[in-house]
């Protein structure tokens, strides 16, 4: 005797007990199907006007249909869109991107901005301590360069830092910077310097 059983346990039982209703399996994929629609206007990443594309039902219902950006792929709409395209053929506007090469002045402004950012900011490093309240691993040039890139978003070379020996104590330091002489110094400054503070973790 075949009978219809509802619920999630329909698949767990043996096939000798029940015969599943084929309509149950036919309706499962309805909500995941995509609709074929005809675009009335060109949309980036979707297609050009007049093309038939597949979209999710919710996107069509909530976004495309209310703004009349697309219509369902039905014969009468396909005919109307094709006739409309014959009468009114909009000219495709091509976007032209102009690439302006950087001049020497632009580069100098970028360098000056980066130098001012390095000079005015304070870099904070957190280091582990030993039992004697000393820095476990000394701070090297490479570590300072990596932290400058991470915290200040400025890329510098290790040769730009004047650090003869690694810093092995907690406190505040000023690390002199070796920047090109073409970058003017601010008033009252003799050299560029990076303020650095090493703290306990």
Whether residues 195 and 119 fall in one domain: yes
Whether residues 184 and 112 fall in one domain: yes
Tell whether 129 is covered by a domain.
yes
Whether residues 132 and 167 fall in one domain: yes
CATH of the domain at 119: 3.10.430.100
Tell whether 170 is covered by a domain.
yes
> Domain range holding 70?
30-88
Q: What is residue 178's predicted lDDT score, i.e. its pLDDT? A: 87
pLDDT averaged per 10 residues, the chain (length 201):
54 53 57 83 86 90 88 88 78 72 84 87 87 84 91 88 88 88 81 88 82
CATH of the domain at 35: 3.40.5.10
Q: What is residue 1's predicted lDDT score, i.e. its pLDDT? A: 47
**For the chain, what is the domain count?**
2
Q: What is residue 107's predicted lDDT score, i.e. its pLDDT? A: 85
Whether residues 76 and 124 fall in one domain: no
Q: What is residue 31's predicted lDDT score, i.e. its pLDDT? A: 61
Whether residues 173 and 116 fall in one domain: yes
Write out the DSSP string of the chain: ------SGGGTTS-TTT----HHHHHTGGGGGPPEEEEESS-BTTTB-TT-EEEE-HHHIIIIITTTTSEEE--HHHHHHHHHHHHH--PPPPPP----PPPPHHHHHHHHHHHHHHHHH-EEEEEE-B-TTS-BSSPBPHHHHHHHHHHHT-----GGGB--SS-B-SSEEEEEEB---TTSPPPTT-SS-EEEEEEEE-
Tell whether 73 is covered by a domain.
yes
Tell whether 17 is covered by a domain.
no
């Amino acid at each position: 005797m075949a009978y219809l059983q509802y619920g999630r346990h329909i698949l767990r039982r043996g096939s000798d007990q029940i015969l599943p209703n084929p309509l149950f399996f036919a309706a499962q994929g309805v909500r995941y199907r995509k609709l074929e629609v005809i675009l009335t206007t060109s949309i980036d990443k979707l297609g050009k006007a007049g093309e038939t594309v597949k979209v999710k039902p919710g996107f069509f219902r909530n976004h495309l249909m209310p703004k009349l950006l697309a219509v369902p792929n039905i014969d009468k709409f396909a005919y109307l869109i094709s006739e409309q395209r014959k009468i009114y053929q909009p000219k495709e506007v091509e976007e032209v991107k102009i690439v302006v090469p950087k001049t020497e002045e632009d580069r100098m402004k970028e360098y000056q901005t980066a130098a001012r950012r390095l000079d005015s900011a304070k870099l904070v490093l957190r280091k582990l301590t030993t039992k004697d309240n000393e820095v476990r691993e000394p701070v090297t040039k490479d570590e300072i360069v990596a932290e400058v890139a991470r915290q200040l978003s400025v890329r510098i070379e290790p040769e730009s830092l004047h650090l003869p020996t690694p810093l092995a104590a907690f406190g505040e330091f000023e690390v002199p910077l070796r920047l090109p002489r073409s970058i003017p110094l601010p008033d009252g400054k003799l050299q560029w310097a990076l303020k650095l503070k090493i703290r306990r973790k």
